[in-house]
């Protein structure tokens, strides 16, 4: 029994490997890109709308509302990044319903890459909103002594974000594999349904945490600016 899709190698030339993580990551990205093109090519503004457009609008509206509730001003400004994270993780987890599909989120390399994207996005949005000097100065709040602790906190937060998603996805796959051996008919169906729900929850948690980290960075700067005035 393989623990991660990294272990499933389809092609290898020297140290270059084409494993299931890469293949299914590209597949998920292709589904999202092609699906978005097909849904948005004939958008309607009236009451007569397709079911796919209604679904897309519902997802977008829900994500924008959640971003606003977290405390980020101009939520549509962050929708592209945070929405992409949610849709990628959710789609990757939901596709596990198809036999043979290996969720790329079950690979630590994928979850680390997603967490690194969040790690880069936090200072990017912070600097974009308040400027480089104000953002860097926020790491010395309330005193310069906190500088190394704030940096360690950023790094540990990124690691925790990656390990949390990887551990939850991998453990779910292992449980289903074990139940396939014990009871190959009934339990796997129940666990698959539970796994789909868990996959959506994990995508939502990853999305919310990323939004919270960005909000914390911008609000920390805003609080400093307010105090100085």
Question: Which residues of the chain form beta strands (DSSP E)?
Answer: 9-13, 16-19
The tokens describing 125, both together, are: 């949005």
pTM of the model: 0.82
17 Cβ neighbours under 8 A, 6+ residues apart: 9, 11
Does residue 213 contact residue 122 with C-beta atoms inside 8 Å?
yes
The tokens describing 167, both together, are: 């551990």
- What is the C-alpha to C-alpha distance for residues 23 and 162, in angstroms, rounded to an integer? 20
Kindly list the domain boundaries of the chain, sorted by start residue.
5-228
**% pLDDT > 90, the chain:** 28
- What is the C-alpha to C-alpha distance for residues 174 and 158, in angstroms, rounded to an integer? 25
The predicted-structure confidence for 139-192, as pLDDT tens digits, reads as follows 877 778 878 888 888 888 888 888 888 877 766 666 666 666 665 555 556 666
């Amino acid at each position: 029994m393989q623990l991660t899709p990294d272990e499933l190698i389809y092609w290898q030339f020297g140290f270059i490997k084409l494993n299931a993580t890469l293949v299914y990551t590209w597949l998920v990205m292709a589904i999202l890109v092609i699906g978005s093109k097909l849904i948005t090519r004939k958008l309607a503004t009236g009451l007569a709308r397709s079911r796919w457009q209604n679904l897309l609008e519902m997802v977008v509206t829900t994500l924008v509302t959640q971003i606003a509730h977290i405390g980020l001003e101009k939520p549509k400004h962050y929708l592209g990044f945070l929405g992409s994270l949610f849709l990628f993780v959710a789609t990757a987890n939901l596709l596990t319903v198809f036999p043979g599909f290996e969720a790329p989120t079950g690979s630590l390399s994928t979850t680390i890459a997603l967490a690194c994207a969040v790690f880069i996005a936090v200072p990017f949005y912070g600097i974009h909103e308040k400027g480089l000097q104000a953002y860097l100065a926020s790491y010395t709040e309330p005193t310069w002594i906190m500088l190394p602790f704030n940096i360690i906190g950023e790094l540990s937060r990124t690691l925790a974000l990656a390990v949390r998603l990887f551990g939850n996805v991998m453990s779910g796959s292992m449980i289903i594999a074990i139940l396939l051996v014990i009871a190959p008919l009934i339990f796997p169906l129940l666990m698959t349904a539970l796994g789909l729900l868990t996959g959506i929850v994990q995508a939502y948690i990853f999305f919310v945490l990323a939004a919270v980290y960005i909000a914390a960075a911008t609000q920390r700067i805003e609080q400093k600016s307010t105090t100085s005035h």
